[in-house]
Structure 1
C-alpha cells in the first residue's frame, strides 16, 4: 500500500487566516499549506498591519477585531482568488483606506457580485480599471450589517467572503443567495466559523450571521482534497493503490467526493475514519455532474480517454472563470494528445482513445499541470510549457508525484 502525505488544504488555510486575523486573541494554525497563494494571503495580512509569525508546521496570527492596523496599505494579491476576494472584505470591516491589486491573471477573474454586495451594505468601494475587477480601493468605516442579495453562481467564494464578514458587522448579516455553485465549499466555511465561535443559521439559501466577532483557536489544517485527487486518479488509472491519511469520513472538503466519481467509473474506494484509499480497476464511461466539485473536473478529464466508453462532465460552467478557461484548456490539450472531444457552454465529453506524446499548454494554471501529469503515467512524452505554475498550491508536486510513480507496492 502506497501512503501519500498531501500538503494542507488551500481553501481551509485561506479561511483560517481570515478567521484568525478577525478573532480576539492569538490563533495557531497547525500544518498550514505553504504555497504561493497562502504566502500571498499571509503577506497581505502583514501589509494590512496584522501580526503573522510563520514557522515550520505552524503559523501564529494575532487577531485585530477592530480591523487592519495600517491605514493606506497597498496589498498585492498575486494570483490568489481567496486573497483577492477575502482581504478586501476583511478590510471593509475596519477603518481607513486600503488599496488592492493582483496579477494580470487574477485581474481577469470576476469580483463583481461580491463588490456589488459590499456596496449595497454601504461600503465605499472603487474599481480603478474594469468594473467588477481588480484593482480596487476601499475607504472603510466599518459595516453596519443588514440584508443583501447575492448571486454566487460563478463562485462560492463571494458567499464565503460575506459569511466571514458577518460577525464583524454591527448588527449581523442576512444573505439571500439566488444561485450557488460549489456548495460544499460553503459548508467548509460554516464549519470553520463554528470552530471560531460563530453559528450561522441557514434556511434554504438564506444565511443569517450574528454579530459579535470571533474567538481565537488552535486550528489544524487538513490535507488538500483537490490535490489528493491527482493521486487518487493516478491509482485509478494505473491499477495501483494509494492511501491519503488525514482525509476520512469527517473531512470538511467536498472535493473528497471525487473518489465517489472514481468508484462509479470502476475504481475501488474505501473512506475510513481518518484516511481514504483508492485502488485502480478497469475504467468505464458515464455522465457525471461536477457542479459541486468542479476543481476536480480537469482531473477526471485527464484520465477520461482511458475509459472504455465516453465520459461526459456536466454543469461546470464556472470552470471557465478560474485561472484559465479550464473547459477549453482541457479540450485543447486532449486534442493535442489526439483525443476526440466535444464541449458546450457547461460540459465536456471525452471519447476513448490512445493519447500520444504532446506538450501541454498550461495557461499558467496549476490544475492543468497536475491533472495532465496523471495522463503522463500512461502516455510517455507528455511535457508542459510552464510546469512551475504548480507553486500556486503545491510547490513540490512534481517531486512528490514522481516519487509515488517510482514507488513499488
Structure 2
C-alpha cells in the first residue's frame, strides 16, 4: 500500500482505458442518521448494509455511551433504543468524537435526554470545526451545556431526563448538519421542535432532504414551509432500514472514467435518492462523458476531451475535491464557487486544494467561496492530505494521469471507505 516514502501511497497511473465494475460501501450520511433514529425508536432497528468505518463506529460508540447498545449482525447492526444499556445513575459519561462531524452534531441533543453529565471531545481537528450555533440553539430549547464560551469541543451536556423543545431560530449557514441535528432529535422533545432558519441558506440541500425523508420513514411527522421546519413529538419505529451505497464515495471512481477513458460501472446506484452524489449523474455529460443508469448500477464512459466549466457546488460541496482534481485535466479554465463552508470541514479544503494542486504544477487559486483552475502541466510530488479522506480520493484521480504522485497518509480514507486503496488498484487492474 505504501512506497519508499514512509506513510505514503504511490498513486497508480492508468496504463490503459478502464473497463471495471466497483462496489462502494454504504452511505456514511445515511448510516449515521439511521443509527441516531434507531436510538430514538421504541423498538430495535435492524440497519442493513451500513457503512463500517471509523466515523460510523464512533457513532455506535457514542450511542452506546448514551445508553443505546447495538449488536453486529451478518449484514449490519441491530440498534436498540436509548435506555437499553442500563442507567448511569447520574455518573459522568464521555463520548469520543474523533473527527466525525455527524457524531459531534447529532448526539448532544440525545445526551440531554438522559440524566448524566456527558463530556464530548475528540481529535484536535474537531475542536476547530464549527458547532457554536447548534449549541446555542440547544440552550434555547432548554439544554444545559458548558463549553467555557468556545462554541466547540470539549463541552459538557447535562442530561435532565428530557428536552423541552419548542421554537428556535438557527443559523445553519456553516453546516446543514446543525439543522439536521435538531430535526433528528425533535421527535423525542416534549414539544417537538420548530426550527426557523436565519442567516444565509444552509449548504447541501440534499442532506436536508435526506434527513426529512428518513424521519418520515421512521414514522415522524415533518412539515416544511420555506425556511421553517416543524417536527412533532412522536414514537419512532422502523424494524429494518437498508442503507444505499455512498454516491459521494463513488465520485473518484466515476471521475476515473472521465480522466483515464474507458468505462467504470458502480454497482447498486439507486434510480432515485436524496444523496448529493447523485448530482454526478447529471454533471458528467457536461465533461463529455456518457452516463447510463442500468439494472446493475451506473455506467460512466469517458469522452475524448474535458471542457472547462463554471460550477456552483453549494449544494454538493463534498464533491469539490474530486471535481477540482478532474478539472485540472480540462482543456480550458474552470471556476468552482459556492463552497465557502468547506473551510470548516475536516480541514480548510479550499486552501488545501489550492496549495496541493499548485505544488504539483497546477495553476489553482483561491477565491472567497471556491477555486479558479487554469490547466497547466502537472508533475509528480507529495500530495498532503491533512487527515482528510476526500483529499486522498482527489489525489488518486490525479495519479491516473500524472506519474510519481505520493499520497500522504492514505489510511485516512478509513473515515468513510477503509478498502479504498485496494478497490482503486483493483479497478485499474481490471482495465489493463
TM-score (norm 2): 0.91
Report what 2:30 is aligned to.
12
Report what 2:261 is aligned to: 239
Out of 150, 168, 176, the position equivalent to 1:131 is 150
Of the three residues 17, 29, 53, the one matched with 2:47 is 29
Shift of 1:268: 1.4
Check whether the contact 2:175–2:202 (CA below 8 A) recurs between aligned residues: yes
Aligned equivalent of 1:303: 326
For residues 65 and 73 of structure 1, the distance between their equivalents in structure 2, rounded to whole angstroms, comes to: 14
* Distance across 1 between alignment mates of 2:187 and 2:291: 39
**Residue 389 (structure 1) aligned with residue 421 (structure 2):** no
Q: Hey, what's the Cα distance between the residues in 1 that align with 2:85 and 2:130? A: 25
**Deviation of the 1:359 alpha carbon:** 0.4
Describe the shift of the 1:147–1:363 C-alpha distance in structure 2 as closer, same or farther (beyond 3 A): same
Name the residue aligned to 1:406. Answer: 429
CA deviation profile, 1:306-330 (whole Å, cap 9, x unmatched):
1111111011001111000000111
One of 115, 130, 134 as aligned partner of 1:95: 115
Cα offset for 1:68?
8.3
Counterpart secondary structure, 2:133: helix
Q: CA deviation at 1:273?
A: 6.4
SS in 2 for 1:180: coil
Instruction: Confirm whether residue 207 of structure 1 aligns to residue 207 of structure 2.
Output: no
Tell me the residue number matched to 1:119: 139
Give the corresponding residue for 1:224.
246
Give yes or no for contact 1:67–1:93 (8 Å, CA) kept in 2.
no
- State which drifts further: 343-352 or 317-326: 343-352
Q: Does 1:3 align with 2:21?
A: yes
1:150 match: 170
Partner of 1:174: 194
> RCO (CA 8 Å, sep 6+): is it higher in 1 or 2?
2
Q: For 2:310, what is the secondary structure of its paired residue?
A: strand
Q: 1-side partners of 2:24 and 2:152: how far apart? A: 33
The partner residue of 1:338 within 337, 343, 361 is 361
User: In structure 2, what is the equivalent of residue 191 of structure 1?
Assistant: 213
DSSP-derived class of the 2:250 partner: helix
- Residue 384 of structure 2: aligned partner: 361
- How far apart are 1:107 and its partner, in Å? 1.0
What is the aligned partner in structure 1 of residue 106 from structure 2?
86
Correspondence for 1:58 among 76, 86, 89: 76
Distance in structure 1 (CA, Å) of the matches to 2:313 and 2:203: 10
Distance in 2 between residues matched to 1:295 and 1:74, nearest whole Å? 29
Which one is further off, 160-169 or 240-249?
A: 240-249
Q: Compute the displacement of 1:377 (Å).
A: 0.5
Compute the RMSD of aligned alpha carbons: 1.7
Distance 1:66 1:175 in 2: 30
Partners of 2:383 and 2:20 lie apart in 1 by 28
Quick check: 152-161 or 268-277, which moved more? Answer: 268-277
Residue aligned with 1:306, SS: coil
Aligned length: 408
Distance 2:83 2:279 in 1: 35
CA offset at residue 371 of structure 1?
Answer: 1.1
| In 1: Cα distance, 2:77 partner to 2:298 partner | 27
Whole-Å separation in 1 of the counterparts to 2:346 and 2:395: 16
Runs (4 or more) in structure 1 with deviation over 3 Å come to 65-71, 271-274
Q: CA deviation at 1:260?
A: 2.3
SS at match of 1:215: coil
Q: Quote the offset at 1:55 in angstroms.
A: 3.3
CA–CA distance in structure 2, aligned partners of residues 272 and 14 of structure 1: 28
User: Counterpart in 1 of 2:125?
Assistant: 105
Worse-superposed segment, 289-298 or 178-187: 178-187
Structure 1: segments with no counterpart, 5+ residues: none
Given that residues 287 and 307 in structure 2 are in contact (C-alpha distance below 8 angstroms), is that contact kept between their aligned partners in structure 1?
yes
